[in-house]
Amino acid sequence: MNRDRRVAQKGFTLLELLVVLVILGMLASLAGPRVMKYIGGAKSDTARLQIEEFGAALDLYKLETGRYPDTQEGLQALVEAPPSVSNWNGPYLKKNSIPKDPWGFEYHWVSPGEHGAFDIFSLGADNREGGDGEDKDIVSW
- The Cα–Cα gap between 84 and 77 comes to 11
**What would the pLDDT profile of 70-122 be if each residue is shown by its tens digit?**
999 999 999 999 998 888 998 999 888 899 999 999 999 999 989 999 999 99
> What's residue 12's pLDDT?
81
Q: Is the pLDDT of residue 139 over 90?
A: yes
> What's residue 27's pLDDT?
85
Q: Is the pLDDT of residue 28 over 90?
A: no
- The Cα–Cα gap between 124 and 107 comes to 10
**What would the pLDDT profile of 41-75 be if each residue is shown by its tens digit?**
788 899 999 999 999 999 999 999 999 999 999 99
- Looking only at the bridges linking them, the beta strands covering 108-110 and 119-122 are antiparallel
SS3 assignment for 60-100: HHHHHHCCCCCCCCCHHHHCCCCCCCCCCCCCCCCCCCCCC
Give the confidence band of 40 by pLDDT, cuts at 50, 70, 90. Answer: low
Residue bearing the bigger pLDDT, 111 or 5: 111
